[in-house]
Amino acid sequence: MTDAALPRSAPTRAPIREATAWDRLKTNRNWLGFWFMVPAAAFLILFLAYPLGLGIWLSFTDTRIGRPGEFIGIENYEWVLGDRKFQDAVFNTLFYTTIASIAKFAIGLYLAILLNHHLPFKAMIRAIVLIPFIVPTVLSAIAFWWIFDPTFSIISWTLKEMGWRTTNINFLGDAWNARWSVIFANVWRGVPFIAITLLAGLQTVPPSLYEAATLDGATRWQMFRHITYPLLTPIIAVVMTFSVLFTFTDFQLIKVLTNGGPAGATELMATMSYNTAILGGKIGEGAAISTAMIPFLLGAIMISWFGLQRRKWQQGED
């Protein structure tokens, strides 16, 4: 063994080079970090912060299309708040957001729990569930436009064929019918996002917790109530915040389906802002309507942030 020892001749080595200033900069994490951050920051400033700032600024001016405006203080807000149409739009938006979000949450959670079970063709069913989410909004809106068509609606046709109705349903022509119809379309579109996100959340719950609960004597419902639901709250908070924000600012679906009609019954703040600013040319007033959405959105974020998101049990400190 001893005669098999490694040879001990000293290898020749190149002298170690002095570190230059550039070398030091290259390996400086803060310096590198700054440059890695620049593209993202530039993108956010250019496409998010700047338009937001511009919008807020415009809401304090009397800008119209083709004419630069002057600062007029809160005059736009005074006018908008007193406007009956705006008040209706706020009501419509709140109604639309509340009902659609609750429905999306309930159906999404139900689907997620269903998909979390061992089903045949699981992967395929999960893919199918995602379809409404990947179809462009405008396309699905057009499809719903046909489904809700006053003359050619497939729903009216089916009900008539089954003998349950004699006349067509006026889906988009009646104020409340139109409200429920757009909510239905929004729910159809929004459920997959919630279902798939909650499904991902469900899969992070260790199966041994359910086994322990089984031995502890929990029924199915008790397992949901005491284990699944509490462990899912952080994800519910995040996904519902996003869902509420997206629903509150919804534009495409309404624009294509009803364009705010009939007689403003489905006019949301987003569509009203667009119609006032771009179609009506009153940029300042439109911007004020948009800016008026910010407090609502902040409120929604605050509720989820303080009420739901971080729980004591998630924090690791002693």
Partner 1 sequence: MASVTIRDVRKAFGNVQIIHGVNIDIADGEFVVLVGPSGCGKSTLLRMLAGLENISAGEILIGDRVVNHVPPKERDIAMVFQNYALYPHMTVADNMAFSMSLRNAPKAEIKERVDKAAKILGLEKLLERYPKQLSGGQRQRVAMGRAIVRDPQVFLFDEPLSNLDAKLRVQMRTEIKELHQRLRTTTVYVTHDQIEAMTMADKIVVMHDGIVEQMGAPLDLYDRPENLFVAGFIGSPAMNFIRGKLGSGGFMADGGFHLPVGAAPAGSDGKPVVYGLRPEHIRIDSAGVPAEVVVLEPTGSETQVVLRAGGQDIIAVFRERLTAKPGEMIPISPSLPIAHLFDAETGKRLVA
Q: Does residue 226 touch partner 1 according to CB under 8 A?
A: yes
Give yes or no for a cis peptide into 262 (omega within 30° of 0). yes
Of residues 210 and 242, the one with the C-beta less far from partner 1: 210
Q: Does residue 221 touch partner 1 according to CB under 8 A?
A: no
The single residue among 12, 40, 68, 317 that binds partner 1, judged by CB under 8 A, is 317
Closest approach, Cβ 202 to partner 1, in A, equals: 15
105 phi, psi to nearest 5 deg: -65, -50
Closest approach, Cβ 194 to partner 1, in A, equals: 21
Q: Give, as ranges, the residues between 131 and 170 that touch partner 1 (CB under 8 A).
A: none
Structure tokens at 223: 């397992």
Q: Does residue 314 touch partner 1 according to CB under 8 A?
A: yes
The single residue among 56, 218, 238, 297 that binds partner 1, judged by CB under 8 A, is 218
Of residues 1 and 14, the one with the C-beta less far from partner 1: 1
Structure tokens at 45: 């400033």
Q: Give, as ranges, the residues between 51 and 80 that touch partner 1 (CB under 8 A).
A: none
The residues near 227 (Cβ < 8 Å, ≥ 6 apart) are 205, 209, 210, 213, 218
- Count of residues that interact with partner 1, criterion CB under 8 A: 26
The single residue among 87, 158, 203, 222 that binds partner 1, judged by CB under 8 A, is 222
Q: Does residue 3 touch partner 1 according to CB under 8 A?
A: no
Q: Which of 221, 185, 223, 172 is nearest to 104 (CA)?
A: 185
Do 69 and 283 meet the contact criterion of CB atoms below 8 Å apart?
yes
Judged by CB under 8 A, which stretch of 10-18, 63-71, 201-209, 266-274 contacts partner 1? 201-209
Of residues 11 and 217, the one with the C-beta less far from partner 1: 217
Q: Does residue 2 touch partner 1 according to CB under 8 A?
A: yes
Q: Does residue 208 touch partner 1 according to CB under 8 A?
A: yes
Q: Does residue 213 touch partner 1 according to CB under 8 A?
A: yes
User: What does the alpha-carbon distance between residue 1 and residue 233 come to, in Å, rounded to a whole number?
Assistant: 64
Judged by CB under 8 A, which stretch of 20-28, 31-39, 163-171, 214-222 contacts partner 1? 214-222
End-to-end C-alpha distance for the chain, whole angstroms: 54
The single residue among 20, 215, 295, 306 that binds partner 1, judged by CB under 8 A, is 215
Of residues 166 and 208, the one with the C-beta less far from partner 1: 208
173 phi, psi to nearest 5 deg: -95, -20
Q: Report the interface residues with partner 1, using CB under 8 A.
A: 1-2, 206, 208-209, 211-218, 222, 226-227, 230-231, 311-318
